[in-house]
Amino acid sequence: MAKYDYDLFVIGAGSGGVRAARLAAMSGAKVAIAEEDRVGGTCVIRGCVPKKFMVYASEFSHHFKTSKGYGWVVETPRFDWPVFLAEKDKEIARLSGIYVRNLQNAGAELAHGKARLIDAHTVEIDKVGTRSADKILVSTGGRPWMPKDLPGAEFAISSNEAFHLPELPKRIVIAGGGYIAGEFAVRFNGLGVETTLVHRGPNVLRGFDDDIRSHLAEEMEKRGITVVLGTHHTAIEKTATGLVSRFSDGHERESDVVMFAVGREPYVEGLGLEKAGVKLTDKGAVAVDEYSRTNVENIWAVGDVTDRINLTPVAIREGHAFADTVFYDRPTSFDHEMVASAVFSQPPIGSVGLSEADARKQCGKVDIYLARLKPMKYAFTGGDERALLKLVVECATETVVGCHVVGPDAQEILQMAAIAMKMGVTKTQWDATCAVHPTLSEELVTMREKYVPLGLGQVA
Ligand SMILES: Cc1cc2nc3c(=O)[nH]c(=O)nc-3n(C[C@H](O)[C@H](O)[C@H](O)COP(=O)(O)OP(=O)(O)OC[C@H]3O[C@@H](n4cnc5c(N)ncnc54)[C@H](O)[C@@H]3O)c2cc1C
């Protein structure tokens, strides 16, 4: 008789957990996966997927305006939020169903309920019972961090609720300076909501290249978003006409909705990790080695709960590497270098490799190639949107160590650039690539002049 109920028990059916469970089950292992909410996790249910649909919805307002310059006569368009919500939810239900079927087809058992560890080999699942497993994978993701001590915090929503607002607000205040806050700001703005973005730091998008950060803040303001930097909420008060946000610099602003997107935290609450002796990092994430193994020999963790790079493809690759290592006898560690990322702002951002500031710290001398231009689409429509393309090149080796684009299709452009950069492309090899014309991306392979910022020798 088998010693345990399962070879593998996975806690959390999001991007990382589903990939790992499916592959492990396909190897012939007996696998179960617990999910307390809907199968698919943050990405499918309350992250990348619904947000991309909302991006598409909000972009139309901009397209309607631009189309006039091309001769289209557009009567006053009207956006129907409930119709959008219903269609979005239908598609999300379809995708979640595909995840369930994929798990079932692979032979993994699904347990609906919150799971917690009782010890290193035993899991208790609400309304299901107790199960034992030889190996356990924790893939419980992350969740929004909310400032619970803020007076009036109970009136604020997180990104989770923003996808289900019963009606589209007329005014919204969004607190946060990361990509989630920035993306929601441009989306609500595009849907016609008077939008204020408030961030305690000196600029939006911490961690991105400084030119990209400033460029996006300017573009957001051009589109009518009020960007307030260097201040933070001290209270939220409910009045007869809305919610009044009070800020540390003394000013206040009334809105219908206040949303916090001020960070996410690994979701380990109530997981019983301490009962199994699993150690956390000082930031509260599950501590793992390069094979995603915790300090407990039979327990692994992948995805946002480990707080390495919190992106869907990374969680998937970590889950895949875990299955390869443990169930296919192919020790594999996912390489977290040169992971490209996108911000689905308007205009969007694509970025891979080092920012200029990080490159100067890590590589010493670097050359910068930079272009700012009006995308062709706006050539005669009067739009004042500008694109920005930037390359960071390590002088000693001529290697392209950073590539950053703000502009139409930036995310699609960067996926391709990331391939070359992962292969260690040099600027000479990069320049040998012939341009595709007329495109925005051709600027990337035609930038020859090194950029010298004003004040560093260049004459204006
Ligand atoms: C608004 C938003 C936009 C995003 N946009 C992007 C994007 O454009 N591109 C990108 O790459 N990434 C994006 N992300 C990040 C991406 O969603 C995450 O990196 C990814 O989902 C992480 O996958 P995971 O498997 O680690 O966790 P998750 O997908 O969060 O899955 C964890 C699952 O575990 C379940 N769970 C937790 N605890 C338990 C328990 N005790 N018992 C049972 N089940 C449990 C949860 O319900 C959840 O379903 C976005 C995130 C947000 C919030």
Pinpoint the alpha helices (H) of 230-368. 273-276, 312-327, 356-363
Any atom of ligand 1 within 6 Å of the Cβ of 43: yes
Minimum mean pLDDT range among 309-313, 342-346, 456-460? 456-460
232 has pLDDT over 80:
yes
Active-site residue, selected from the candidate residues 215, 251, 336, 437? 437
391 has pLDDT over 80:
yes
CB 336 within 8 A of CB 348: no
Predicted local confidence at residue 1, as pLDDT: 67
- For residue 18, the ligand 1 atom closest to its alpha carbon is 25
3-state helix, strand, coil in the chain (%, to 5): 35, 25, 40
Mean pLDDT of 181-195: 97
455 has pLDDT over 70:
no
* Torsion angle of C-alpha atoms 420, 424, 426, 430, degrees rounded to 10: 0
Predicted local confidence at residue 459, as pLDDT: 43
Could you report the per-residue pLDDT of 416-444, keeping only the tens digit for each? 999 999 999 999 999 999 999 999 999 99
Residue located nearest, by CA, to atom 35 of ligand 1: 12
Per-chain mean pLDDT for the chain = 95
120 has pLDDT over 70:
yes
Could you report the per-residue pLDDT of 307-321, keeping only the tens digit for each? 999 999 999 999 999
Predicted local confidence at residue 458, as pLDDT: 42
Known catalytic membership, residue 320: no
Mean pLDDT of 53-66: 94
Sequence-distant (6+) residues with CB within 8 A of 340 are 350, 351, 352, 414, 415, 417, 418
Taking each helix axis as running N to C, give the angle between helix 81-106 and helix 15-26, from 0 to 180 degrees, rounded to the nearest 10.
Answer: 30
Q: Report the amino acid identity of residue 394.
A: E
Could you report the per-residue pLDDT of 34-55, keeping only the tens digit for each? 999 999 999 999 999 999 999 9
Q: Report the amino acid identity of residue 351.
A: S
454 has pLDDT over 80:
no
- For residue 116, the ligand 1 atom closest to its alpha carbon is 41
Predicted local confidence at residue 381, as pLDDT: 78
Residue located nearest, by CA, to atom 34 of ligand 1: 12
- Quote the CA–CA distance of 102 and 108 in Å, as a whole number: 9
179 has pLDDT over 70:
yes
Find the 195 Cα to ligand 1 centroid distance in Å: 26
Alpha carbon distances (Å) from 377 to 66, 354, 383: 8, 29, 9
For residue 379, name the pLDDT band (cuts at 50, 70, 90): confident
456 has pLDDT over 70:
no
Could you report the per-residue pLDDT of 140-168, keeping only the tens digit for each? 999 999 999 999 999 999 999 999 999 99
457 has pLDDT over 90:
no
78 has pLDDT over 50:
yes
- For residue 39, the ligand 1 atom closest to its alpha carbon is 49
For residue 383, name the pLDDT band (cuts at 50, 70, 90): confident
Mean pLDDT of 270-286: 97
Mean pLDDT of 332-336: 97
Predicted local confidence at residue 451, as pLDDT: 85
